[in-house]
Structure 1
Amino acid sequence: MVMIDNIPSIIFLWCYMFIIWGNLIYIWIKKPMVITKSWKLIFGAFLLLAFGDVFHLVPRTYLWFQYSINHQTDIYTTSIGINVYGFGLIMTGITMTFFYLLFYLFWKEQFIKFVDVPALKSIKSRIRILDGIAFGSVILRTILILLPWNHYGSEPTYYLGFMSFRLLTNLPLYIIGIEVLVLFLKSTQKTPGSEVVHMDIQIALKRSSVWIIVSFITYTITLLGSPVVPLLGMMMIPKTIAYLLVFYYMKKFILLNPSSLKFEKEIALAI
């Protein structure tokens, strides 16, 4: 059976939505006069994250309202309940995948443009492979998400207590997520060439990487553990908080600091 919400979980979800949408609106109002491609990629990533969560939050709120307020205790097992809940999971899954793709494109925009920096040439030589991993993961996961064996909105078929088709569906997300994480950490190490990117961007990527790791750990616990111990589904709460902290660091050091995106051009001209 799908997770049945309660008043605290609904309040938490709506608080999360107000925070992320409120900040997106504020960032858009404060946007720089000249919007760079890098700025668009980061802003677009979090816009996708918030937009996708709307499709997840609204169905959950609707089902909770019908279940708790209207006492329609079978709403989660009706065709309407299954379709509404399932559609939300599908949209959230797709937008989350593209979230990481935009993060990858942001990394590429910031680091790979400096072709004359020796420390970046080794990464530059493998860029086609990295592109293939990123775009291939997005295409594969989108296809897997749309397959009926995920049983979105209803109880999936488990093997060995926790395995289901949804594990396979999530593998491409782990691949592109780990790729982005490794590139963020590797590219911001203290090496010749790392100085071509503004220090604020390096700080944002390093601190965001910590919370991306937290998000994957908590998501993995939920994915593998909740079929065995349903209470572990609450690990999605720290996962959500982790993404808010990623948003916070990207907002503080990049989205509200356009000088960090202009500085890159000045250094490139000086190399």
Structure 2
Amino acid sequence: MNQFEIFFDGFYLSLIIFLGIRMLLIENNDSKILGSMALLLGLGDSFHLVPRIIANVSENGFIENSFGLFLGTRVSAITMSIFYLLFYYYIKKKNNMQKKGLDTFLILLFVIRIATVIISFNHSEEMDLISNLPFVLMGIIDILLLFKNKNIKEFKNLYIYVLFSFLFYVPVVLLKNVYPIIGMLMMPKTIMYVLIVIKLYKNLKKDFEKKYIMEFAISYLLSGILAGAVYRELGKIYPVDVKMAFVHTHLIVLGFVFLAIFYLIAKNLEIPNKKLEKLIRVYNFGIYFSFTTMFLHGLVDSYPILNSVKIAMTSISGIGHILITLSIILISIMSLRSREVLKA
């Protein structure tokens, strides 16, 4: 059963990191802070989840990768602290809030959190618990502010997601050494993070325009460059399969080049934005399924994995390629028909 966790971790990381890159490219005054939050969340968690994926598919993986897993939790602890500090400043900005005392208190909590996390590198369980106290207080402040301003459109339901992320997180911190199975609560906690990022993305997202196709293309170009760097650097630590190298080239070709071509073809044609948006969404889901499983293949194919896991990876990848092919065909047909109408 542990091996199926790799799908959860892999799809979570690829979604959050891509959305972070996409959010940074949206023309909005809040894009930098929200995009940075999403990227911090995804990249920080990758330090923990990539070793965890490998640990789940290798024999005695959690013992052999204990240092990588521990280091990953420390990096994630630091990035999550920055995430909630930025979250506070986002809330403050949208609410035009001027509370210097609260600003000082939150920064103090952040400094204590970072200092105690660094000290906990000596594997002190006591310091690990202490380091979570300022973190939880930071979360409580964000929750109370979000709840107080829940009628603001941009904050709708966010207090619920943040609240439940901590309700799932705190028992793990307190009881993980006594009842290891309680660590499963980290999965619903992660789902709360996904809901938070999707809501923040929707806060930036506007009605679909054809120029957004080019913005998605650039997002895939940057994602492809990042994937190439990950393959090169990760291969110095773990025996990654060569399939991971294909993520880099496929994202650039199918993500950047094809979408750039679609944009150049469609920008002067009378294609309804709603129809085009639906097809681009199908295309994006196809890329998401295909290249996440390609990345997972690169991570785990060097290890003995269950046949059912192999079948699941192949099936998901197949669905992704079907969606990509279908959307390419439908976009091409729509473009040809629109050109014929334009000539007529």
- TM-score in terms of structure 1 length: 0.69
Match of 1:182 among 133, 139, 144: 144
1:123-202 correspondence runs (5 A): 124=98, 127-148=99-120, 151=123, 157=125, 164-188=126-150, 202=152
Contact 2:176 2:183 in 1 (8 A): yes
C-alpha displacement at 1:109, in angstroms? 1.6
Other-structure match for 2:66: 82
SS at match of 1:147: helix
1:1-271 correspondence runs (5 A): 6-29=2-25, 31-32=26-27, 35-36=28-29, 38-65=30-57, 68=58, 71=59, 73=60, 76-77=62-63, 81-112=65-96, 124=98, 127-148=99-120, 151=123, 157=125, 164-188=126-150, 202-252=152-202, 254-257=203-206
> Over residues 187-243 of structure 1, what are the superposed CA-to-partner deviations in whole Å (9 max), with x where a residue is unaligned?
345xxxxxxxxxxxx233131110111101010121223222211110001000011
C-alpha displacement at 1:250, in angstroms? 1.4
Contact 2:16 2:42 in 1 (8 A): yes
SS at match of 2:177: coil
- TM-score in terms of structure 2 length: 0.55
C-alpha displacement at 1:146, in angstroms? 0.8
CA gap 1:24/1:209 in 2 versus in 1, 3 angstroms? same
- Cα distance between partner residues in 2 of 1:7 and 1:217: 26
Gaps of at least 5 residues in structure 2 are 208-344
Contact 1:149 1:165 in 2 (8 A): no
Contact 1:59 1:85 in 2 (8 A): yes
Contact 1:46 1:247 in 2 (8 A): yes
- Cα distance between partner residues in 1 of 2:144 and 2:182: 27
SS at match of 1:228: coil
C-alpha root-mean-square deviation of aligned residues, in Å? 2.3
Contact 2:117 2:131 in 1 (8 A): yes
Contact 1:133 1:176 in 2 (8 A): no
Amino acid corresponding to residue 6 of structure 2 in structure 1:
I
Larger RCO (CA within 8 A; separation ≥ 6): 1
SS at match of 1:146: helix
> Over residues 28-75 of structure 1, what are the superposed CA-to-partner deviations in whole Å (9 max), with x where a residue is unaligned?
45x12xx41x3321221111111101111222233344xx2xx3x3x5
